[in-house]
Amino acid sequence: MKVSALIDSIPSLSPYKWYGKVTRVVGLTIESKGPQASIGDLCYIIVGKTKKTKVKAEVVGFKDENVLLMPLDGTTDISPGSLVEATGKPLQIKVGVGLIGKVINGCGDIMTETSLPKGLMSFPTDNAPPDPLSRPRITEKMSLGVRVIDSLFTVGKGQRIGIFAGSGVGKSTLLSMLVRNSAADINVIALIGERGREVQDFIERDLGKAGMSKTVLVVATSDQPALMRIKGAMTATAVAEYFRNQGLHVNLMMDSVTRFAMAQREIGLAIGEPPTSKGYTPSVFAMLPKLLERSGTNKRGSITAFYTVLVDGDDMNEPIADAVRGILDGHLVLDRKLANKGQFPAINVLKSVSRVMADIVDDQHKFAAEQLRSYLSIYNENEDLINIGAYKRGTSREVDEAIQMYPKIIAFIKQATDEVITLNQAVEKLINEFGRGGQ
């Protein structure tokens, strides 16, 4: 920071420190008498009888004359009368090139080392989305290295895509392919509410050394407090924003938005918000667009974002899935039936869409993609008749063509996890096989 900026900030500094005292702890919520603080401010709760330590907490609301706090750490050792120290500002993290290849938690602290690398700068975790009138339009294609996505759901730099699936259908494996194969300058991955066992598996098995070499991984596991899981999503987005402001193209991947929403539901219910659809509180649906709109393009760089959404019982119309689908620029639906048939990626081509593709691909590419979808749609409509042998060849020319093309379509969609295919290769294969009538 420049000296002149430090001098200008002097008038806004307070010569006092504000303190309060814990009055009670109810569930996830800590109530205190004081200190003077605002919503979102970071506070420290001083605990311990002999060795004093500080527990991070955030102001989440007020009740009568009491301050409501949520801990970023556990509530162990907090007792009536514990001192609460206000910082007067929200949580900030340290960001910079030194974070690349590191694993950090929701507060921005490195989990694999004792101290942060040198040369990092402070950056707020809660930022406003870019001004809608200053956002450049998405005009440039992004190579992701997954043939079915690059060809049928071509993604543009700065686009935001949802990956909708139930548990165990291949979301994490698909994300790992995108990390290793995409043409982004840097990847920022947020694992929100994941099982602790899966974190090391994801690092060693799915990412590997090549994937981690250009990745910042943010981890907030399911056993951590709800506020830490919220901060995990905010911190990952802030890291991506920092690199975007350096003029880079960033891939932001969050697994999952559903667990972020569940964490906010926990907080909302704890501070007395009324439950609405499926128990989700109004603040959940207010926070989703604030988080998701932060990615995308700005004047300096772009964040191409992939958000996974867990759909309970594969119900695509559950509240979070419905809200997220309306905010994002497209969605990929992973189908359990396709996964059970051994198709990977298990993307349901007919239920998925990219809202940007039509603006960034040429007519030949569009025609070939429409042809493939047409063949697949016709085959699916008549699949039961075909499987039981009730359909006789020659009855319909369109159905005959669809039956002929179906094996080619499945072979085109399938891709091994270690297979790398560029966008140009994917499009060329699509046009050659489906853009000229399959000849």
Residue 294 has pLDDT above 70, yes or no: yes
314 or 149, which is more confident: 149
d(CA 288, CA 10): 36
Q: Is 201 left (phi over 0), alpha (psi -120 to 50) or beta?
A: alpha
d(CA 347, CA 158): 22
pLDDT of residue 9: 63
Strand partners, 309: 164
pLDDT of residue 439: 42
d(CA 226, CA 266): 7
Mean pLDDT of 318-336: 92
CA-based end-to-end distance of the chain:
63
Question: Which domains can be identified in the chain, with CATH numbers?
Answer: 15-90 (2.40.10.170), 93-360 (3.40.50.12240), 364-434 (1.20.1270.330)
The model carries a pTM of 0.89
Pairing between strand 29-33 and 41-47? unpaired
Mean pLDDT of 159-184: 88
d(CA 243, CA 227): 24
d(CA 73, CA 81): 18
Backbone angles phi, psi at 93, to 5 degrees: -120, 165
Mean pLDDT of 431-436: 84
Range name among 25-34, 348-357, 402-411 with the lowest pLDDT average: 25-34
d(CA 17, CA 33): 15
Residue 98 has pLDDT above 60, yes or no: yes
- pLDDT tens digits along 223-268: 898 999 999 999 999 999 999 999 999 999 998 899 999 999 999 9
- pLDDT tens digits along 99-153: 999 999 999 888 877 677 888 899 999 999 999 898 999 999 999 999 999 999 9
Find the radius of gyration of the CA atoms of the chain. Answer: 25
